[in-house]
């Protein structure tokens, strides 16, 4: 048979099967529904993934699946190390779930929208300015026109601006300073992830029903679903004795080995504050056991295990409906582009094809990742398959690759997607490719700044990012001049500006950590450039604000015009 004839035959066969059988959802009848999902084979595979990434930490894993008989199978397990003291992860080990907190935040908003006793009522398209006192952005159009849907789907025009938030800030402080943050796109032009918009959402319960956000979520979501170990409060998590440590790899030689552990360190828990400005965007602490219950709740569209409606199905569906195109191009051949609703990314996995005698259209995958210092998470579900998986990890550097490798390995097995894809190999390749090249050392003949180094020391201010008070560290001409200032954020507690050439400096976020042997952890790196205009001195931060895909670099004739963030010297 000629190739063209063979292809035509295949097309006719597929059409015939589709017509006779319809687009049927996948049935896992080929799997033993009485056997554990997290079986010995998957246990070994997960342990192997941890070993492949040389993780000093571990993983909490949860699965939820509805059987053909209509019953739910919930499973949760732990693998690897929970703490620096050698405790092992189990199903009750507590992890920070980072941005998987956003779904709780936006669902709480949905409950307020569904509250018929609220007066005046609010809607998904209600203007934020009509709800939030003091709401203002640098763009007047975004200020007046932003709706709840706009801020939940990251399309206000603001990039991340993560370093504007300090540990002493409350929710009101963050909201008050949003107006001073420079946008990197026009209103509704691009999807640009912004944690602060979920801080804005978290202000709604206090404003509308006079209930603190954490209490509102606890009473209306955690308790009715039976998420008994889940909390927003570090003190409560520590009191259980089950809070995992976040691990980091200090001074790892990544050029020699991209997976080198270096010196394994335990990070202090990242949010021990009492102000909880980050609760809505990333404050939830939970366990694999509770995540299995949460997966079932989402798959049942808001109904709990007692068959009571806790969250209206329309709310679950609304936040899972794509608003912005977040990934315009699929990251791998088996994935689709991704669209973002509210705390949910929507796409498909592994396309479609013939499975036995059934033409199968691959269902939608709803998921979201989470990242906090020392912790990475993923919560994913296939509603039409009545199946979901969550992975919680405590490896700072490689936890994201670990969580994805574990997630897809479980999905491939449970949904019988053959052949299984070696996601571990793919993510190992990605990690190796991301190793930065050796830094170019500062030239011994580097031109000095346009004013003496001593003139650059002192206090600077940006209304959005607060104040910085730089001290000059420069022992002699053989050392690189450095300016160091205290700056408490989620990423660290100091900024170090190291001179490179002329008025340009390399910026490093430092986390100076106390303990029996104090140590310094380096995190984000970007650039600073000073500009002197008469007696006015200031500097621009460049590469710091975290724009979305498609955002154009700032243009301008002066350093200040090109600044993502501009600090003016105060004294």
pLDDT values of the chain reduced to their tens digit, one per residue, 571 residues: 443 343 333 343 333 333 333 333 333 334 456 789 999 999 999 999 999 999 999 999 999 999 999 999 999 999 999 999 999 999 999 999 999 999 999 999 999 999 999 999 999 999 999 999 999 999 999 999 999 999 999 999 999 999 999 988 999 999 999 999 999 999 999 999 999 999 999 999 999 999 999 999 999 999 999 999 999 999 999 999 999 999 999 999 999 999 999 999 999 999 988 778 999 999 999 999 999 999 999 999 999 999 999 999 999 999 999 999 999 999 999 999 999 999 999 999 997 333 433 434 556 899 999 999 999 999 999 998 999 999 999 999 999 999 999 999 999 999 999 999 999 999 999 999 999 988 888 998 999 999 999 999 999 999 999 999 999 998 776 689 999 999 999 889 999 999 999 999 999 999 998 766 678 888 888 999 999 998 899 999 999 999 999 999 999 999 999 999 999 999 7
CA distances from 250 to 37, 81, 395, 521 (A): 36, 18, 12, 7
Decide: 394 and 57 in contact? Cβ < 8 Å.
yes
Whether residue 468 is found in the same domain as residue 556: yes
| CA gap 214, 43 in Å, rounded | 35
Helix, strand, or coil (residue 319): helix
Decide: 151 and 200 in contact? Cβ < 8 Å.
yes
Any domain includes 366: no
Any domain includes 335: no
Alpha helices of 496-567 — where are they, by DSSP H? 559-562
Helix, strand, or coil (residue 553): coil
Q: 163 CB contacts (<8 Å, ≥6 apart)? A: 465, 487, 489, 491, 509, 524, 544
Last residue of a domain, one of 209, 224, 258: 209
Decide: 422 and 413 in contact? Cβ < 8 Å.
no
pTM, two decimal places = 0.92
Residue 482 belongs to domain spanning? 453-569
Number of domains present in the structure of the chain? 3
| CA gap 390, 64 in Å, rounded | 9
User: Left if phi > 0, otherwise alpha if psi is -120 to 50, otherwise beta: which for 391?
Assistant: beta
Which residue, among 162, 154, 169, 214, has the nearest Cα to 549 in the 3D structure? 154
Any domain includes 51: yes
Whether residue 267 is found in the same domain as residue 401: yes
Any domain includes 355: no
Any domain includes 342: no
Cα end-to-end span (Å), the chain? 85
Any domain includes 421: yes
Whether residue 124 is found in the same domain as residue 202: yes
Which residue, among 41, 113, 35, 115, has the nearest Cα to 75 in the 3D structure? 35
Whether residue 134 is found in the same domain as residue 67: no
Any domain includes 448: no
Any domain includes 549: yes
| CA gap 99, 490 in Å, rounded | 13
Whether residue 255 is found in the same domain as residue 400: yes
Whether residue 297 is found in the same domain as residue 418: yes
Whether residue 261 is found in the same domain as residue 400: yes
């Amino acid at each position: 048979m000629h190739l063209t004839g063979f292809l035509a035959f295949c097309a006719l066969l597929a059409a015939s099967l589709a017509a006779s059988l319809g687009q049927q959802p996948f049935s896992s009848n080929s799997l033993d529904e009485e056997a554990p999902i997290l079986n010995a084979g998957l246990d070994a595979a997960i342990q192997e993934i941890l070993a492949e990434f040389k993780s000093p930490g571990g993983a909490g894993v949860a699965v939820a699946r509805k059987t053909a008989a209509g019953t739910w199978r919930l499973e949760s397990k732990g693998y690897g190390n929970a703490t620096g003291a050698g405790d092992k992860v189990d199903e009750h080990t507590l992890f920070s779930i980072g941005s998987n907190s956003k779904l709780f935040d936006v669902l709480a908003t949905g409950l307020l929208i569904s509250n018929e006793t609220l007066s005046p009522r609010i809607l998904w398209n209600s203007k934020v300015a009509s709800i939030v006192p003091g709401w203002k952005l640098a763009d007047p159009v975004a200020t007046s026109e932003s709706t709840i849907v706009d801020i939940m789907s990251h399309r206000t025009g603001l990039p991340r601006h993560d370093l504007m938030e300090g540990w002493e800030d409350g929710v009101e402080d963050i909201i008050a300073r949003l107006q001073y943050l420079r946008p990197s796109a026009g209103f509704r032009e691009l999807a640009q992830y912004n944690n602060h918009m979920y801080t804005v959402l978290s202000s709604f319960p206090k404003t509308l029903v006079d209930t603190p956000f954490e209490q509102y979520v606890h009473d209306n979501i955690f308790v009715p679903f039976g998420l008994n170990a889940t909390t927003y409060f570090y003190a409560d998590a520590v009191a259980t004795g089950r809070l995992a440590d976040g691990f980091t790899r200090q001074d790892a030689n990544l050029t020699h080995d991209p997976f080198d552990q270096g010196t394994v360190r335990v990070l202090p828990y990242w949010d021990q504050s009492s102000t909880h400005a980050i609760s809505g965007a990333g404050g939830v602490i939970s366990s694999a056991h509770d995540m299995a219950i949460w997966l079932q709740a989402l798959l049942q569209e808001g109904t709990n295990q007692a068959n009571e409606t806790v969250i209206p199905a329309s709310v679950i569906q609304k936040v899972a409906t794509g608003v912005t195109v977040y990934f315009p191009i699929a990251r791998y051949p088996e994935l689709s582009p991704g669209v973002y609703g509210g705390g949910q990314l929507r796409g498909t996995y592994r396309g479609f094809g013939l499975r036995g005698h059934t033409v199968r259209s691959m269902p939608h995958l709803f998921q979201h990742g989470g990242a906090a210092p020392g912790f990475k998470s993923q919560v994913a579900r296939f509603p039409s398959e009545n199946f979901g998986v969550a992975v919680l990890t405590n490896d700072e550097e490689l936890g994201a690759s670990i969580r994805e490798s574990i997630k897809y390995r479980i999905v491939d097995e449970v949904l019988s997607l053959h052949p299984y894809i070696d996601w571990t190999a793919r993510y190992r390749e990605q990690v190796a490719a991301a190793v930065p090249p050796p830094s170019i050392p500062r030239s011994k003949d580097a031109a000095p700044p346009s004013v003496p180094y001593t003139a650059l020391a002192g206090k600077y201010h940006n209304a959005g990012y607060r104040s910085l008070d730089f001290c000059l560290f420069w022992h002699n001409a053989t050392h690189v001049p450095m300016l160091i200032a205290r700056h408490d954020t989620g990423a660290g507690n100091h900024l170090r500006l190291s001179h490179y050439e002329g008025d340009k400096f390399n910026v490093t976020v430092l986390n100076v950590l106390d303990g029996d042997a104090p140590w310094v952890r380096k995190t984000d790196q970007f650039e600073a450039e000073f500009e002197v205009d008469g007696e006015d001195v200031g500097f621009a931060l460049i590469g710091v604000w975290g724009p979305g895909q498609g955002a154009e670099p700032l243009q301008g004739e002066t350093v200040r015009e090109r600044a993502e963030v501009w600090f003016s010297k105060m004294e």
